[in-house]
């Protein structure tokens, strides 16, 4: 699995009124294979912008993203995103959501079912496969989002405050699940959060960002998350 290199990223948004926002300035960060890095910072410091650039949804003003030494541009299956709110397909049931990536790849149904059965068991939703997404609680929807992301077999998982919209108890349960997934799958993960506690719990390394312009303020190695 690849190493992810974020090299000298800067992002300026030019606004229609002629002014501009320097959302990121010279952000560089390297993740080793299987590393779990949490990114913490105040609102507006460029966390989401950073993740969107790494995911390939947004082209930076300057700088580049490399996977295993190869320049990557635009989204692809190697980088999977989990959003704050699952961004699930409301008109599909749970299995169809998890199934989406493999289905697009033309994988036969029997094989897809095996994958979604397994992943829905991993996230504890084996009894909810045929439920509509809107019938599920917020925490359950985020579990579907995790399973859907994993079904695409990304090497790098990008999480943009995946637990931010959940109540405290559900959030705590989900933190355990994210750790379990990280330990079991060996994925490289960037987790964005504005919860200090979550950043401490769910990172091997903590990146603290500062705003105006968004940049890396400090890095810490953390002792809490262990494989």
> What does the binding site for ligand ADP look like in residue numbers (CB under 6 A)?
13, 21, 23, 41, 43-49, 135-140, 170, 173, 214
Nearer residue to ligand ADP within complex by CB, 8 or 135: 135
Nearer residue to ligand ADP within complex by CB, 170 or 185: 170
Residue in this structure with the two tokens 């077999």, named with its chain if needed: 153
CB 208 within 8 A of CB 41: yes
For the chain, the straight-line distance linking the first and the last C-alpha, in angstroms and rounded, comes to 16
Nearer residue to ligand ADP within complex by CB, 155 or 192: 192
Smallest distance, ligand ADP to C-beta of residue 187, A: 21
- 52-55: long-range contacts, CB 8 A cutoff, minimum separation 24: 53/9, 53/11, 53/24, 54/4, 54/6, 54/79, 54/156, 54/158, 54/190, 55/79, 55/81, 55/158
Q: Name the closest residue to ligand ADP (Cβ).
A: 139
Nearer residue to ligand ADP within complex by CB, 59 or 104: 59
Q: How many CB atoms lie within 10 A of CB 185?
A: 16
Smallest distance, ligand ADP to C-beta of residue 54, A: 12
d(CA 177, CA 123): 7
Nearer residue to ligand ADP within complex by CB, 102 or 166: 166
Smallest distance, ligand ADP to C-beta of residue 131, A: 7
Smallest distance, ligand ADP to C-beta of residue 224, A: 22
Smallest distance, ligand ADP to C-beta of residue 223, A: 26
CB 9 within 8 A of CB 60: yes
């Amino acid at each position: 699995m690849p190493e992810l290199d974020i090299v000298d990223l800067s992002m300026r948004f030019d606004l229609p009124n002629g002014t501009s926002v320097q959302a990121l300035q010279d952000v560089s960060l390297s993740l080793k294979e299987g590393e779990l890095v949490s990114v913490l910072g105040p609102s507006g410091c460029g966390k989401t912008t950073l993740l969107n650039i790494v995911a390939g949804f947004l082209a930076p003003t300057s700088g580049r993203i490399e996977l295993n030494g190869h320049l990557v541009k635009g989204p692809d299956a190697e980088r999977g995103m989990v959003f704050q709110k699952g961004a699930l397909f409301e008109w599909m049931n749970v299995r169809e959501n998890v199934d989406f990536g493999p289905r697009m790849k033309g994988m036969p149904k029997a094989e897809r079912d095996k994958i979604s059965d397994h992943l829905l068991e991993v996230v504890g939703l084996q009894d909810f496969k045929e439920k509509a997404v809107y019938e599920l609680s917020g925490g359950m929807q985020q579990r579907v989002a995790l399973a859907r992301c994993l079904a695409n077999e990304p090497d790098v998982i990008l999480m943009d405050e995946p637990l931010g919209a959940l109540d405290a108890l559900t959030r705590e349960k989900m933190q355990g699940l994210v750790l379990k997934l990280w330990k079991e799958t060996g994925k490289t993960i960037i987790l964005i959060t504005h919860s200090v506690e979550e950043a401490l719990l769910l990172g091997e390394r903590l990146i603290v960002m500062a705003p105006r312009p968004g940049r890396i303020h400090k890095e810490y190695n953390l002792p809490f998350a262990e494989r």
